[in-house]
């Protein structure tokens, strides 16, 4: 089986992209490590507040011209960016695998999702249209106009280094705003390449800026008086405890997407082969580092006796473990590999602590991912195999907290109401799935469950670019979501004009 | 062609591995037909048409894969039980006579069509777009096989 070539051949020091120029930072450098091989592929600067400020000032200076650029001309820039992304599709995908560790199929999927954002944003001449009504009173007409606001900050997570900033940036730029993107310092290469392509596509200097960094840059973005809004995707403690309140304090618009703990209900009539297949990618895709990943599988015994529920649970557990055991692990550029490492050894240790805690609290170990085989001669430090925990109860920490790793918790519920109550008792509300052939159960689930993204016989309920990426409870802080119509409204002010002529 | 064409431990082949196999199959087939066209100029038009069709198949399959890979991942795209080894053999040197060329070409087309049908069948469970395109590729290969009757 082929191992694909790596696009990043020589380690290099990354630079900030400010006002159309690539500039070295004066801040300290941090290694960027390929987690599968533990090799250093580059260094990223932890930029200074002054550098962030220069990027914001450049964006602010570019805003006036850019907002006056006709939407069709802005759309053409995005269409050129889209074409360049298609041309460099494979390179962009392999960069993600090299810097993050995900498999090449997963990276190509991420590239596609990112491109779809640019494609949808390129429809801005239609998407941004306002509304009007004549004769709201005799001879008086009223108009709603959508206008851009200025400079937005975009703070990306490590789990989708290419796609997530593109949930926002193309829409922000399409609506006439300027952006400063801070990629994750763990895997910043993807956004560097995107910015290079944005520049090549003709997006003017100052409109699309990239400033690398850590907490200091994030803090500076949150406090900066010339940044009018923040788009953040990361953990709930940061979203809820830092980003949301500080945006409130400084009067910024905010989209703060946090963590998740997603449940999958398997009803008694669910088609088992389809369900198990869908669960494999949902629970273990991207090594479980996905906010839409399911992590609690609830076998629901609606209408079943205790014994029937127990038999159903055993059958599902056996099928689940058998499928998970067959997942091949290794370097994502090896085409035989189905699951890559976690982003770094420290994250693996965090997930292992969750597993150990679950076992201490009484869960049973159906499949131990701490013991694994790797394809190829690789350091095992960041790898963790699929882990399946049985007899998990809702009170266990592993059932309540975000694990963000390849760990599945199998649970039981005697009824659908009991299962939905489990979901509602959890502080998160990002996504939930149900597997069933019963329309009434499916409707009840869709109607009642307080989660932003619902999957019906779908393991990963990932909204397309033209729908909002929803989220509720501790998974989302804000009002308007990323993507779709929501994000157009987020990036524009609704101005009302009431007009009368004498 | 590269690729062991089967995953270690019998695990399902990844989409990446299968699509690359198909792309290589089409590329090698197209090159072989061009070599045949050069060797048998009196049948060049037909053989060049076969070469073009293989090339177009390759582009179409690759494009479809890249454009639907997100759906594929999210519904667990897997080719369980797929073994590509029977389909990996390609005709070697250009045969000396048109009769030999025809037999080799028809065998290639039938093998390729069977490969597409096998892959399509194993991916049909959860996804519509990719198997549909693979079936079209199989039909194209079968049409090639029919038109190759005109070689003699």
Render pLDDT for A280-296 as a digit per residue (tens, 0 to 9).
Answer: 999 999 999 999 999 99
Query: What is the CATH classification number for the domain harbouring B107?
Result: 1.20.1260
Residues of chain B in contact with residue A1, where contact means CB-CB under 8 angstroms, are 3-4, 7-8, 17
Active site residues of A: 291
pLDDT at position B3: 46
pLDDT at position B80: 76
Number of domains into which chain A is organized: 2
Q: A250, A255, A357, A273: which is closest to A322 by C-alpha?
A: A273
Tokens linked to B134: 């693979």
Let me know whether A452 and A405 are in one domain: yes
| Assigned domain for A10 exists | no
| Assigned domain for B2 exists | no
d(CA A151, CA A231): 11
Number of domains into which chain B is organized: 1
Contact A112 B69 (CB under 8 A): yes
Say which of B17, B66, B126 has its CB closest to residue A112. B66
Query: What is the CATH classification number for the domain harbouring A358?
Result: 3.40.309.10
Domain enclosing residue B36, as ranges: 8-151
Kindly tell me the sign of the dihedral angle through the C-alpha atoms of A5, A11, A12, A17: positive
| Assigned domain for B13 exists | yes
Q: Hey, is the C-beta of B23 within 8 angstroms of any chain A C-beta?
A: no
Label residue B91 by pLDDT band (50, 70, 90).
confident
Domain enclosing residue A203, as ranges: 18-258+475-500
Q: Hey, is the C-beta of A108 within 8 angstroms of any chain B C-beta?
A: yes
| Assigned domain for A465 exists | no
Nearest residue in A to B5, CA atom: A1
Residues of chain B in contact with residue A112, where contact means CB-CB under 8 angstroms, are 66-67, 69-70
Q: Is A139 left (phi over 0), alpha (psi -120 to 50) or beta?
A: left
| Assigned domain for B25 exists | yes
Let me know whether A243 and A289 are in one domain: no
- List b or e across A417-447, with b for residues whose CB sees 16 or more CB atoms inside 10 angstroms: eebbebbeebebbbbbbbbbebeebbebbee
Let me know whether A66 and A197 are in one domain: yes
Say which of A277, A326, A336 has its CB closest to residue B126. A277
| Assigned domain for B143 exists | yes
Say which of A109, A335, A375 has its CB closest to residue B70. A109
Q: Hey, is the C-beta of A281 within 8 angstroms of any chain B C-beta?
A: yes
Q: Which residues contact A327 (CB under 8 A, 6 or more apart)?
A: A280, A284, A338, A339, A385, A386, B11
- Going across the sheet that includes A131-137, the strands are A131-137, A140-148, A492-500
| Assigned domain for B29 exists | yes
Let me know whether A175 and A213 are in one domain: yes
CA distance A30 to chain B (A): 32
Let me know whether A346 and A300 are in one domain: yes
Phi and psi of B105, rounded to 5°?
-70, -45
| Assigned domain for A463 exists | no
| Assigned domain for A118 exists | yes
Nearest residue in B to A337, CA atom: B14
Kindly tell me the sign of the dihedral angle through the C-alpha atoms of A422, A424, A428, A431: positive
Let me know whether A229 and A289 are in one domain: no
Q: Hey, is the C-beta of B124 within 8 angstroms of any chain A C-beta?
A: no
Predicted confidence pLDDT, tens digits, chain A (502 residues): 689 999 999 999 999 999 999 999 999 999 999 999 999 999 999 999 999 999 999 999 999 999 999 999 999 999 999 999 999 999 999 999 999 999 999 999 999 999 999 999 999 999 999 999 999 999 999 999 999 999 999 999 999 999 999 999 999 999 999 999 999 999 999 999 999 999 999 999 999 999 999 999 999 999 999 999 999 999 999 999 999 999 999 999 999 999 999 999 999 999 999 899 899 999 999 999 999 999 999 999 999 999 999 999 999 999 999 999 999 999 999 999 999 999 999 999 999 999 999 999 999 999 999 999 999 999 999 999 999 999 999 999 999 999 999 999 999 999 999 999 999 999 999 999 999 999 999 999 999 999 999 999 999 999 999 999 999 999 999 999 999 999 999 999 999 999 999 9
Residues of chain B in contact with residue A96, where contact means CB-CB under 8 angstroms, are none
Residues of chain B in contact with residue A109, where contact means CB-CB under 8 angstroms, are 69-70, 72-74
Structural element, H or E, at residue A155:
strand A151-155
Mutation for testing the A interface, residue in B6, B8, B14, B88 having most A CBs under 10 Å:
B14
How many CA atoms are closer than 13 Å to the CA of A250, on its beta-carbon side?
20
Q: Hey, is the C-beta of A277 within 8 angstroms of any chain B C-beta?
A: yes
Label residue B11 by pLDDT band (50, 70, 90).
low
Let me know whether A484 and A420 are in one domain: no
| Assigned domain for B36 exists | yes
| Assigned domain for A464 exists | no
d(CA A418, CA A409): 17
Let me know whether A155 and A69 are in one domain: yes
Question: Is residue A129 within 8 Å of residue A488, measured between CB atoms?
Answer: no
């Amino acid at each position: 089986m082929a191992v694909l070539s790596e696009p990043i051949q020589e380690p290099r020091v990354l630079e900030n992209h400010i006002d159309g120029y690539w500039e070295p930072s004066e801040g300290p450098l941090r290694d960027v490590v390929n987690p599968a091989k533990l090799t250093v592929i580059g260094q990223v600067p932890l930029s200074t507040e002054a550098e962030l400020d220069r990027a914001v000032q450049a964006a602010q200076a570019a805003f006036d011209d850019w907002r006056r650029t006709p939407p069709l001309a802005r759309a053409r820039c995005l269409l050129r960016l889209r074409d360049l992304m298609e041309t460099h599709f494979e390179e962009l995908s392999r960069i993600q695998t090299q810097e993050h560790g995900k498999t090449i199929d997963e990276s190509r999927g991420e590239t596609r999702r990112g491109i779809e954002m640019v494609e949808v944003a390129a429809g801005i001449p239609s998407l941004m249209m306002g509304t009007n009504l004549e004769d709201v009173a005799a001879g008086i007409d009223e108009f709603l106009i959508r206008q851009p606001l200025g400079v937005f900050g975009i703070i990306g997570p490590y789990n989708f280094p290419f796609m997530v900033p593109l949930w926002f940036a193309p829409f922000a730029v399409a609506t006439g705003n300027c952006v400063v993107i801070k990629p994750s310092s763990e895997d910043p290469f993807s956004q560097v390449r995107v910015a290079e392509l944005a520049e090549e596509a003709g997006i003017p200097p100052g409109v699309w800026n990239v400033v690398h960094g850590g907490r200091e840059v994030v803090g500076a973005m949150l406090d900066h008086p010339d940044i009018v809004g923040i788009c953040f995707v990361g953990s709930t403690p940061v979203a809820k405890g830092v980003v949301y309140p500080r945006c409130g304090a400084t009067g910024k618009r905010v989209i703060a997407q946090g963590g998740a703990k997603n449940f999958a209900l398997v009803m008694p009539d669910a088609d088992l082969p389809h369900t198990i297949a869908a669960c494999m990618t949902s629970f273990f895709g991207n090594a479980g580092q996905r906010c839409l990943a399911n992590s609690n599988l609830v076998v629901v015994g609606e209408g079943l006796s205790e014994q029937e529920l127990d038999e159903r649970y055993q059958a599902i557990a056996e099928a689940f473990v058998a499928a998970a055991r067959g997942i091949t692990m290794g370097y994502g550029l090896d085409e035989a590999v189905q699951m890559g490492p976690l982003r770094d050894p420290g994250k693996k240790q965090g997930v292992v602590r969750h597993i150990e805690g679950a076992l201490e609290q009484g869960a049973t170990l159906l499949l131990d991912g701490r013991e694994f085989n790797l394809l190829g001669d690789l350091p095992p430090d960041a790898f963790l195999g699929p882990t399946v925990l049985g007899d998990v109860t809702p009170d266990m920490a592993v059932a309540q907290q975000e694990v963000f790793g390849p760990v599945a918790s199998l649970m039981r519920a005697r009824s659908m109401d009991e299962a939905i109550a489990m979901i509602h008792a959890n502080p998160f509300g990002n996504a939930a799935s149900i597997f069933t052939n019963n329309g009434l159960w499916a409707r009840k689930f869709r109607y009642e469950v307080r989660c932003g993204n619902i999957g019906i016989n779908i393991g990963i309920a990932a909204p397309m670019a033209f729908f909002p990426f929803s989220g509720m409870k501790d998974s989302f802080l804000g009002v308007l979501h990323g993507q779709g119509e929501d994000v157009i409204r987020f990036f524009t002010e609704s101005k009302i004009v009431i007009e009368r002529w004498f | 062609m590269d690729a062991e064409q089967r995953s270690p431990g019998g695990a399902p082949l990844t989409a990446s591995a299968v699509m690359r196999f198909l792309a290589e199959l089409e590329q090698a087939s197209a090159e072989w037909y061009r070599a045949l066209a050069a060797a048998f100029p009196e049948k060049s038009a037909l053989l060049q048409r076969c070469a073009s069709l293989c090339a177009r198949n390759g582009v179409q399959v690759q494009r479809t894969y890249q454009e639907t890979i997100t759906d594929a991942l999210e519904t667990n795209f897997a080719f369980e039980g797929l073994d590509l080894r029977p389909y990996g053999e390609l005709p070697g040197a250009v045969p000396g006579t048109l009769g030999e060329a025809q037999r080799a070409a028809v065998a290639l087309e039938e093998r390729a069509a069977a490969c597409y049908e096998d892959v399509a069948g194993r991916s049909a469970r959860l996804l519509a777009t990719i198997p549909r395109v693979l079936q079209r590729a199989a039909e194209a290969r079968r049409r090639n096989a029919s038109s190759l009757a005109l070689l003699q």
